[in-house]
Amino acid sequence: MMRRLRLNRHLTERLGFISLTLMAVVTVVPIVAVVIYILSQGLPAISWEFLADFPRDGMRVGGILPAIVGTFYLTIGTAVFSVPLGIAAAIYLSEYAPDNALTRLIRIAIINLAGIPSVVYGLFGLGLFVLFLQFGTSILAASLTLSIMTLPVIISTAEEALRAVPQPFRTVSVSLGGTRWQGIQRIVLPQALPGILTGVILGLERAAGETAPILFTGAAFFLPRLPNSPFDATMALPYHLFVISTQVPEMPPQIQYGTALVLLVFVLGMNLVATTIRSRARARRQW
């Protein structure tokens, strides 16, 4: 009797472990498959002309240069606003914020910012930046919208990096006569830099791949030239992929896959840089 019971529970464990392993495999395999599939289907489309030329003939021929440049501009624009603000907010939360109701409110606000649907950011950007502040459908309005969406990612990862710097670093700085800010600027920030950088890149990666927030704030269906001021609308890779896969009939699949590939490389490249910085910093850390 005892023996059978034991056997059963070990059999259950065996079966349970196998099914959980299978679940993990089923979760992960499609991810790898998606990346490999896009790579294999998209690579034949990649050529110098595809990367460096304008779309022609209703976007069915030619390249995607304006979309690449547009996504680049939007990413830079997002960084300009969200990086300083996000890091400063993280410094406040990690180094200055008292443990009170207001700080808890800030944290709840950050969690909420992270959860707001991307299309609602688009509505907000349309209401505030495009119409109320009259920036028009522009790179400026789209970048501002994207940077507010990126903010929670940057704040939470940067705060984590700052908190990971051991307390004695700060104490020693103060004991040598440094002010609080000097300690932060010269000791804490440099130590936390790799972690902060990782968070920044992960945040910008999200911004670069987003479509919904720029739909009504800065994305253009088609532009025959590159934007030449922040007040111009722009084409962007994610929006372009959306347009050519749903709005343009008889689109050659090769151009679609090529566009998806370029977007994927852009985004995954950033991801790779971020994870490399993180793992290198972890290996080199002295504390």
Partner 1 sequence: MEKTLNWREFLITRLVRASGYSAIVFVALIFFFLLREGLPTLGEVPISTLLSLRWYPIENYFGILPLVTGSIMVTLGATMVAVPFGIGTAVYISEIAPRWMREILKPLVELLGGLPSVVLGFLGILVLSPFVRTLLDLPTGLTALTGSLLLGGIAVPTVVSIAEDALDSVPRSYREGAWALGATRWQTIWRVTLPAAKSGVLTAIMLGVGRAIGETMTVMMVTGNAPVLAVTPGSLFSPVRTMTATIAAEMGEVANGSIHYHTLFFIGMVLFIISLAVNVAASSVVFRSKQRAERVLS
Minimal distance, residue 121 CB to partner 1, in Å? 8
CB nearer partner 1, residue 139 or residue 162: 162
Residue 53 C-beta: closest distance to partner 1, Å: 22
User: Which residues lie below 8 Å from residue 107, measured CB to CB, with a gap of 6+?
Assistant: 93
Phi, psi dihedral angles at 219 (to 5 degrees): -85, 135
Q: How far is the CB of 16 from partner 1 (least distance, A)?
A: 5
As a whole number of angstroms, the distance between CA 93 and CA 116 comes to: 21
Percent helix, percent strand, percent coil in the chain, to nearest 5: 75, 0, 20
Write down the least CB distance from residue 65 to partner 1, Å: 19
Under the binding rule (CB under 8 A), the answer on residue 186 touching partner 1 is no
Residue 55 bridge partners (DSSP): 62
What is the distance, to the nearest Å, from the Cα of residue 26 to the centroid of all Cα atoms in its chain? Answer: 25
Distance CA 276, CA 287 (A): 19
Per-residue x/- track, 15-44, partner 1 (CB under 8 A): -xx-xxx-xx-xxx-xxx-xx-xx------
Select 9 or 56, whichever has its Cβ closest to partner 1. Answer: 9
CA distance 29 to 44: 24
Site for partner 1 in 142-181 (CB under 8 A): 148, 151-152, 155, 179-181
Handedness of CA 42, 46, 49, 50 (dihedral sign): positive
Q: Which of residues 47-76 bind partner 1 (CB under 8 A)?
A: none
Structure tokens at 194: 């790799």
Candidates 45, 212, 233, 255; binder of partner 1 (CB under 8 A) is 212
Nearest distance from C-beta of residue 116 to partner 1, angstroms: 5
> Where does this chain touch partner 1 (CB under 8 A) — which range of 51-59, 113-121, 165-173, 224-232?
113-121
Q: What part of residues 115-144 is at the interface with partner 1 (CB under 8 A)? A: 115-124, 126-128, 131-132
Is residue 64 within 8 Å of 55, Cβ to Cβ? yes
Spatial distance between the Cα atoms of 13 and 244, rounded to a whole number of angstroms: 50
**Using CB under 8 A, which of 74, 211, 218, 232 touches partner 1?**
211
Which residue is associated with the tokens 């104490």? 171
Task: Please check whether residue 122 is in contact with residue 216, taking contact to mean a CB–CB distance below 8 angstroms.
Answer: yes
Count the residues in the chain: 287
Supply the minimum distance, in Å, between the C-beta of residue 81 and partner 1: 11
The size of the interface with partner 1 (CB under 8 A), counted in residues, is: 88
Q: How far apart are CA 39 and CA 255, in angstroms?
A: 13
CA 101, chain centre distance (Å): 30
- Cβ of residue 278: shortest distance to partner 1, in angstroms? 10
Q: Name residue 95's amino acid.
A: E
| Residues between 219 and 248 that touch partner 1 (CB under 8 A) | 238-239, 241-242, 245-246
Which residue stretch of 49-57, 160-168, 187-195, 253-261 sits at the interface with partner 1 (rule: CB under 8 A)? 253-261
Is the CB of 73 or the CB of 216 nearer to partner 1? 216
- Using CB under 8 A, which of the segments 59-67, 91-99, 164-172, 186-194 binds partner 1? 91-99
Cβ proximity to partner 1, 139 vs 274, nearer residue? 274
